[in-house]
Amino acid sequence: MAAGRSLSRSERKAAARAEFLRQEEQRERRRQVSRILHKPAAERSPDEAVLLSGSQEIVRDLERLRKKRERLRRRLEEVCDEPEELKKKVTKLSAVVRAAKHLIIYTGAGISTAASIPDYRGPNGVWTMLQKGRSIRAADLSEAEPTLTHMSIACLHKHKLVQHVVSQNCDGLHLRSGLPREALSELHGNMYIEVCTSCTPNREYVRVFDVTERTALHRHHTGRMCHKCGAQLRDTIVHFGEKGTLQQPLNWEAATEAASKADVILCLGSSLKVLKKYPHLWCMSKPPRHRPKLYIVNLQWTPKDDLAALKLHGKCDDVMKLLMDELGFPIPRYERTQDPIFSLAVPLRPEEEGSHSRKPVAPPAGLHEVQLEEQKQISAGPLAGGWFGRGCAKGTKRKKPS
């Protein structure tokens, strides 16, 4: 072909056809090599051995993929320390908790599994199921109550052994355990809180029901209005792919300030795959020797394991029970009559009745008769909408607001 001469249409089609056939031949060769590699070496025929020797680049690529899959599989496995080993580790952790000058706790979904709320990265977690193409079951989070771990954390804060809690959870159980608002940063929101962003400062409405029935990824209006200015209320949930900017309940300012002062960080039930992306929480601007000592409680691998001073492979409730025994503190029982959600809640106005179909948190006997009456009026139909499990699947296209 003469230099500079453009290809004719028929020549371009022929070239494209030849490239397609070449790629198809490569794919078929890759499939053949993969099938051969799955056979024991003793069962491979001479022809198959020749094919492998002539396809070393494909063999190396497939071997790299195999090792990567195996590494990912191992990281998803749940590992439990033997009881005696776990007890020894907790004894070390208790000494650290006593000596810490500024201890903060980072919590993930693993602290709420004892409340029958699925985690995200576990074998049957929300993220794991979605990545496998499986659906997730509807969960009635109104039935959940603070776990032994939630109550232990609130107790440790009361006794000034824990200065701040940074949580990824939206289930509101830290708030309901009695942990003070100023000691809590809920980085991904709280299912019981809706806010008016038109008011300055933002006006907050705590409810006794999940406010996210009508909300979703990039769509946050709850359908109710601010009692003061009449603007639309929105939920506080931060989905995957979103950036949370609300002052409360995210409380980023307090979270970063606590991290800057921390000498010890205790991570409970978090895979840390999201938290690791927030460098301010790990004081990455400080020299390594001046960063907080890291302690991790998780059954699975986390990306911070190599940096941890100690990794405890155990369930959060099991570890916290041992820890509280070592520290000599009885674990408070959750009492519904003391649940702060009932004293903080803003009741619905008459015109707002019927603005949701979520089951409210059942009040203790004799408390808030209005809420009891509201609960009777709500049908027991299937749960719809809500934050739980939304925005988790990678590649989800943004939907235009309706």
Which among 162, 167, 158, 155 has a CA at the least distance from the CA of 324? 155
Helix, strand, coil distribution of the chain in percent, nearest 5: 40, 10, 50
| 228 three-state secondary structure | coil
Q: In this structure, what DSSP letter does residue 2 have?
A: -
b/e code 68-101 from CB counts within 10 Å (16+ = b): eeeeeeeeeeeeebeeeebeebbeebbebbeebe
283 is in an annotated binding site: no
CA distances to 12, 18, 20, 22, 182 from 8, in Å: 6, 15, 18, 21, 72
Q: Which residue intervals of 77-183 are DSSP H helices?
A: 83-99, 126-131, 148-158, 173-176
Helix (H) or strand (E) run with residue 375 in it: helix 369-377
Helix (H) or strand (E) run with residue 233 in it: strand 232-235
Q: How far is 295 from 266, CA to CA, in rounded Å?
A: 5
199 is in an annotated binding site: yes
Q: CB 310: neighbour CB atoms within 10 A? A: 15
196 is in an annotated binding site: yes
Q: How far is 150 from 165, CA to CA, in rounded Å?
A: 11
Is 164 a known active-site residue? Answer: no
Q: Which residue is catalytic, options 157, 174, 188, 220?
A: 188
155 is in an annotated binding site: no
Which among 141, 137, 140, 138 has a CA at the least distance from the CA of 129? 137
| Terminal Cα distance for the chain, rounded | 57
Q: Which residues are known binding-site members for Zn(2+)? A: 196, 199, 226, 229
Give catalytic residues, as residue numbers: 188
Q: Which residues are known binding-site members? A: 196, 199, 226, 229
